[in-house]
Amino acid sequence: MTFAQIGIDTERAATEALVAGVRRVGVAMASASSSTGSPNTVVSPWSAVTAVGMVRAGADDAAAAEIDRVLGTSRPEAIAALVGQLGAIGGDPGTVDVNNPPSPPVYRQGAGAFIARSHPPRRSYLTDLARYFDAGVYPLDFATPQAREAVNEWVAVNTGGQITRAPVPIGSDTDLALLTTVYLAAAWASPFTPDATRDEPFTTATGRTVSAPLMGSSFPTRLANGPGWTAAELPYAGAGLAMQVILPASGATTRSLLSDTVLASVSGALRAATPTPNVEVTVPRWKTEASIDLGPVLRALGMERIFAPGSLDGIAPGTEVSSVAQSGVITVGERGTVAAAATGVTTITGVPQPPAATFTADRAFVYQIVDTATGLPVFLGTMNDPSAS
């Protein structure tokens, strides 16, 4: 069982549709996470969609159709092409100093199928997981504590220790646990100078003024604006990845930006923009950790069938999704970014010059970390209150 190396160009239409689907899922996730009471959010729609794709590989026709309507394509080759595109960056998360993100970046995407020795899935299903998701297969006895420890260790290794526990419960009634992880550690192409960081006023999403560490520097970057938003792209060194920081119009909220149409417009406008020289950029330093139950999110998007008994008979007879969740963390500082996410699904039977422009993020904003070649949002979140980091 080997991973299919599929070029983006051979799956161009399907990958473009899938990128739109990933964005759609990300908006739903970030919107739901924003409703949990925590001011700041971080999600990885790419990790979530990869996990959903692994479920789809064993879904019946009705469940697969629901998933396809959300993701925009029925072709697992599109997922494989994007996995290969990003996986080419490579690197080992275990070698990263969180306080000094590397150049070139380190990127690791993991996919694992943890199977019950007593209820193994169909061999054809495991073959598809390896072919399209580069997934490893790990037989376990879920009745033992060692099974949970093995899953947690896999998560920790693949996220460079940023996440140390599986986001879903692992126990004696687990027949299959599908885990996907995304890890990124990347230095800015133009780092901020730590000595220039100052505690300054920041207006939160609720209109309150707090003191927050604001980083400042001047460098060439892409700027864009559209109805209700202004954005800047902060590229990472050594790879086609960038953080896009999106400010809502004065008086508007970050929720107004959580739209797949808006985020697609931002990504497209920044990709088409010519870099402006010597932009004075100000953004906060922050860290966010968040978890989200994806069950209600997937149901709201129209994926109901996967939670019904027997909907995943392509995995094993009588299989259904019992839980699906994600944990995420992001640290943004003067030198760069470290971000990680883990998604789990379990199943059961049953230079000094006057600036040419300024971009100041001293109020609540939305951000996305994208593959600039495809526009794929790997991470998405809101920064409503850096004092809550």
* CATH code, domain carrying 294: 3.30.497.10
213 in any annotated domain: yes
Same domain for 199 and 236: yes
Question: Is there a domain that residue 160 lies in?
Answer: yes
357 with 230: CB under 8 angstroms? no
Q: Is the pTM of this model over 0.75?
A: yes
- The identity of residue 116, as a single letter, is A
d(CA 298, CA 282): 36
Residue in 177, 162, 365 with CA at minimum distance from that of residue 282 = 365
- What total of structural domains would you count in the chain? 2
Mean pLDDT of 231-247: 96
If asked whether residues 345 and 356 sit together in one domain, one would say no
- The more confident residue out of 320 and 81 is 81
CB 159 within 8 A of CB 344: no
Helix (H, G, I), strand (E, B) or coil at 283: strand
CB 38 within 8 A of CB 328: no
In 285-371 the beta strands, taken as DSSP E runs, fall at 286-293, 319-332, 336-349, 357-360, 365-371
Pair 179, 64 in one domain? yes
Average pLDDT over residues 125-150: 96
pLDDT digits (tens, 9 = 90+) for 6-61: 999 999 999 999 999 999 999 999 999 876 667 999 999 999 999 999 999 999 99
Residues 65 and 202 in one domain: no
- Are 213 and 90 in the same domain? no
Determine the structural domain holding residue 211 and report its residue range: 194-286+352-388
> Does some domain include residue 260?
yes
Is residue 2 situated within a structural domain?
Answer: no
112 and 224 in a single domain? The answer is: no
The domain that holds 374 is classified in CATH as 2.30.39.10
Query: Using an 8 Å Cβ cutoff, are 121 and 133 in contact?
Result: no
* Span 340-356, pLDDT tens digits: 999 999 887 654 455 66
pLDDT in tens, 18-30: 999 999 999 999 9
Amino acid at 140: L
Question: Same domain for 222 and 272?
Answer: yes
